[in-house]
């Protein structure tokens, strides 16, 4: 039996986005002008950044009080100028035979569903008990992957698995100072409590998240991340790769599995 199952966090673009009718993922956050020589000059941040957005659907968590709504940027086809929004796409994986006590219901990891989509920019959390709504992020970001407690009845090593928090892999800063938030920036990984509040950073902001693996024996998530050694705000091939571990039973416990020399 294998105890470590590899998964790539990086994923394919929204279907159809490879053609010339669709812009690349991301959005402008700073004024951009040209100097006398025609070179682009990145100016001040756009103070009133307001993207046109739409909700997609309602995601169910195992806890009936908590429901999530993915929010997508409204995009326009460059040829027809018709508006469209991205769709939820799900990460899934094979899991061990249920007779061995493991049934993940094709979820990304036991207890976690994971979604991504084209220009996925925020998540709305709603509490059915208190009738209150809040956004996970104060302003639009570019979400790579949202991990949320699975509605299905997952088991790990014969025990039921229920997660009481969310994790979000995201580009939330114009780290390379090119005037845009997009996939050229550093990628973060955050933790939120079940109410979608108390955001904490799981991987140091000196790094950019690349991919992950799951360790079923320890219920750990291993995160591979590039260190921004030259501090230019973007991930580069030659920069060192470190590996961090996250204890999914208690995500406040995080450590470094491997440090590049």
pLDDT tens digits along 183-220: 999 999 999 999 999 999 999 999 999 999 999 899 99
Does residue 98 sit in helix, strand or coil? Answer: helix
pLDDT at 21: 63
Backbone angles phi, psi at 84, to 5 degrees: -155, 160
Angle, vertex CA 32, rays to CA 31 and CA 38, nearest 5: 160
Q: What share of the chain is helix, strand, coil (3-state, %, to 5)?
A: 0, 45, 55
Average pLDDT, the chain: 86
Residue 4: is its pLDDT beyond 90? Answer: no
Confidence of residue 139 (pLDDT cuts 50, 70, 90): very high
Confidence of residue 159 (pLDDT cuts 50, 70, 90): very high
Please write down the HEC assignment for all residues of 47-69.
CCCCCCEEECCCEECCCCCEEEE
Tell me the C-alpha distance between 135 and 257, whole Å: 33
Pick the closest to residue 203 from 186, 182, 188 (CA basis).
188
Instruction: Give the model confidence (pLDDT) of 215-254 as tens digits.
Output: 989 999 999 999 999 999 999 999 999 999 999 999 999 9
138: left (phi over 0), alpha (psi -120 to 50) or beta: alpha
Pick the closest to residue 123 from 62, 167, 89 (CA basis).
167
- pLDDT over 70 for what percent of the chain? 82
pLDDT at 188: 97
pLDDT at 76: 87
pLDDT at 179: 87
pLDDT at 7: 43
Residue 103: is its pLDDT beyond 60? Answer: yes
Pick the closest to residue 156 from 239, 75, 219, 244 (CA basis).
219
Full DSSP string of 203-222: S-TTEEEEEEEEETTTTEEE
Instruction: Give the model confidence (pLDDT) of 165-175 as tens digits.
Output: 999 999 999 99
User: Which residues are within 8 A (CB) of 238 and not within 5 positions of it... i.e. 6 or more apart?
Assistant: none
pLDDT at 261: 74
CB atoms within 10 A of CB 24: 13
pLDDT at 40: 62
184 neighbors 233 (Cβ within 8 angstroms): no
CB atoms within 10 A of CB 38: 6
Residue 89, strand partner residues: 116
Choose between 135 and 99: higher pLDDT: 135
CB atoms within 10 A of CB 105: 16
Is 246 exposed, middle or buried, given 0-12, 13-18 or 19+ CB atoms closer than 10 A?
A: buried
Instruction: Give the model confidence (pLDDT) of 41-56 as tens digits.
Output: 555 566 666 789 999 9
pLDDT at 189: 98
């Amino acid at each position: 039996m294998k105890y470590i199952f590899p998964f790539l966090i990086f994923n394919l673009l929204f279907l159809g986005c490879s053609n010339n009718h669709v812009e690349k993922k991301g959005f402008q956050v700073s004024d951009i002008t040209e100097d006398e020589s025609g070179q682009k000059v990145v100016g001040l941040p756009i103070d009133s950044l307001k993207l046109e957005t739409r909700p997609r659907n309602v995601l169910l968590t195992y806890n009936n009080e908590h429901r999530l709504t993915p929010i997508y940027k409204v995009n326009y086809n460059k040829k027809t100028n018709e508006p469209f929004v991205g769709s939820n796409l799900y990460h899934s994986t094979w899991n061990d035979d249920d007779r061995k006590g493991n049934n993940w219901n094709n979820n990304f990891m036991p207890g976690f569903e994971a979604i991504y989509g084209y220009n996925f920019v925020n998540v709305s959390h709603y509490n059915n008990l208190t009738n209150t709504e809040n956004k996970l992020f104060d302003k639009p970001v570019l979400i790579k992957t949202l991990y949320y407690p699975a509605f299905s009845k997952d088991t790990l090593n014969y025990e039921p698995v229920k997660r009481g928090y969310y994790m979000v892999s995201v580009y939330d800063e114009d780290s390379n100072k090119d005037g845009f938030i997009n996939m050229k920036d550093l990628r973060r990984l955050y933790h939120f409590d079940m109410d979608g509040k108390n955001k904490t950073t799981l991987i140091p902001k000196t790094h950019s998240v690349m991919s992950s693996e799951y360790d079923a024996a320890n219920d750990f998530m291993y995160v591979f991340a590039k260190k921004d050694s030259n501090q230019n705000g973007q991930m580069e091939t030659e920069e060192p790769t470190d590996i961090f571990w996250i204890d999914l039973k208690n995500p406040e416990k995080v450590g470094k599995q491997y440090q590049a020399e």
